[in-house]
Amino acid sequence: MSKMIFLSGPCVIESYENLRRVAEDLKFLATHPKIDFYFKASFDKANRTSLESFRGPGLKDGLELLKRIKEEFDYKIITDIHESYQAKEIAQVADVIQIPAFLCRQTDLIVEVAKTDCIVNIKKGQFMNPNDMQYSVLKAIKTRGGGQATYEESKKYGIWVTERGNSFGYGNLVVDMRSLVIMRKFAPVIFDATHSVQMPGGANGKSGGDRTFVPYLAKAAASVGVDGFFAETHFNPDEALSDGPNMIPTNNMQALVEKILKIQEVAQ
């Protein structure tokens, strides 16, 4: 069985001290023989609910901090992109460039990321039919010289898709586990266990959520079958500057990961 991809880290870069503390807590992932680990943090949260919400240090300073983490811990890095012009600079540090969910149809953004040597991780929009994500995948594949949106082609050209739930009424998301099966026909699928419990705009000008449901959704996804998981974490989620209600405390991560691995081994 191939290694399980695992993307984890804080939602946003708050400070180098906090970033390093989380990186230190995740060493067990980087050294786990069954896991292909990527450290995740955003240099900018460009789609915050409120203008007053913390966004991060920005492109230049944020990439410098991620570079320091990469050099000190020898971690592979994943981070978000928001504008096409950022692709080349991000690619100098990151191993995976992530297309945010709300931007998953943006052709120019996908094409510019696909022109780099990085893996392209396209998050499925909360508004998207999972089957239609094949066309976003195909934009990246064609840019890299491929011709079809199949699982094999996507794996060959380094294209992933990530499920993070579907809009359901106002301020809530629901995960349809059928999406994992549908999208895995045309790309390796990552399940985002923490954003799937988000309640967008549900906390008086910022997003809320309920992290207690993360283990249940993650275990369900493992039983269905996915290529990897995305789970944001923080040593003190209640004090985090972004997405705190959804994030898993770092001291709870290892137990969750081991449960997921056991389920995947049985399911496969």
pLDDT per residue over 197-248, tens digit each? 988 765 555 567 899 999 999 999 999 999 999 999 999 999 999 888 899 9
**Residue 84: per-residue pLDDT:** 98
Question: What six digits make up the tokens of 140?
Answer: 């990246």
Task: Decide if 93 contacts 87 (C-beta within 8 A).
Answer: no
- With 0-12 CB in 10 A as exposed, 13-18 as middle and 19+ as buried, what is 255? exposed
Enumerate residues 6+ apart whose C-beta is below 8 A from 149.
134, 135, 137, 138, 141, 186, 187
Name the pTM for this structure. Answer: 0.94
**Residue 1: per-residue pLDDT:** 60
Selection from 1, 11, 31 nearest residue 247 by Cα = 11
Name the residue with tokens 């349809």. 176
**Low-confidence residues of the chain, pLDDT below 50?**
none
Taking the C-alpha atoms of residue 148 and residue 151, their distance in angstroms, rounded to an integer, is: 9
Number of domains within the chain: 1
- CATH number of the structural domain spanning residue 242: 3.20.20.70
Instruction: State the residue range of the domain holding 130.
Output: 4-267
**Residue 6: per-residue pLDDT:** 98
